[in-house]
Amino acid sequence: MSTNRTFTMIKPDAVANGHIGSIINDITHAGFKIIALKYTKLSAEKAGEFYAIHKARPFYHDLVSFMSSGPIVAAILEKENAIEEFRKLIGATNPAEAAEGTIRQKYAKSIDANAIHGSDSDENAQIEGDFFFTADERF
Ligand code: ATP
Ligand code: MG
């Protein structure tokens, strides 16, 4: 069953480059409702936990070190068919392959510093949202 919710993070590169406002603008203009929102920073340990699914990949260490290198913005978003719609809005993992007008095409510079995260399934959206937000932080 679809929950119509997804989880996102504006990654350290996009925060450092001053894109928080533009990205939130794109997200709300695309029809997503903000359910929860937080400006925070991941420790290396927490980033490792969040991306544990990629532990065996060659880029895991760089990914964890990048994701803990500076502040991020975490959010839970709601829209019909949220997972798929949001993946469409952010574009391909590699910004060089991301479609025109997508968030990664507009704000990301490389496959490792790719501006934004979007959950890949309802199950992971639930897990990732729970990682950052308690029940009384959602509206
Ligand atoms: P995210 O989970 O961050 O939304 P994604 O679902 O598009 O991204 P994943 O396959 O889940 O892509 O990879 C997680 C992250 O790991 C990517 O966003 C990217 O920053 C990094 N990554 C993925 N593939 C590579 C690669 N080949 N080289 C370097 N970094 C990579
Ligand atoms: Mg992913």
Ligand 1 pocket: which residues have CB below 6 Å? 54, 59, 63, 93, 111-112, 114, 117-118, 120
CA 18 to centroid of ligand 2, rounded, Å? 23
**In total, how many domains does the chain have?**
1
Ligand nearest the Cα atom of residue 11: 1
**Phi and psi at residue 73, in whole multiples of 5°?**
-120, 120
Helices (H), strands (E): how many in the chain? 7, 4
CA 120 to centroid of ligand 2, rounded, Å? 6
Q: Which CATH number goes with the domain that contains 111?
A: 3.30.70.141
Ligand nearest the Cα atom of residue 6: 1
Whole-angstrom CA distances from 39 to 61, 85, 135 are 23, 23, 17
117 in active site:
yes
Dist CA 63 CA 83 (whole Å)? 22
Per-residue pLDDT of the chain (139 residues; tens, 9 = 90+): 567 999 999 999 999 999 999 999 999 999 999 999 999 999 999 999 999 999 999 999 999 999 999 999 999 999 999 999 999 999 999 999 999 999 999 999 999 999 999 999 999 999 999 999 999 999 9
Task: Kindly report the protein residue whose alpha carbon is nearest to atom 19 of ligand 1.
Answer: 112
CA 73 to centroid of ligand 2, rounded, Å? 16
The residue range of the domain holding 130 is: 5-137
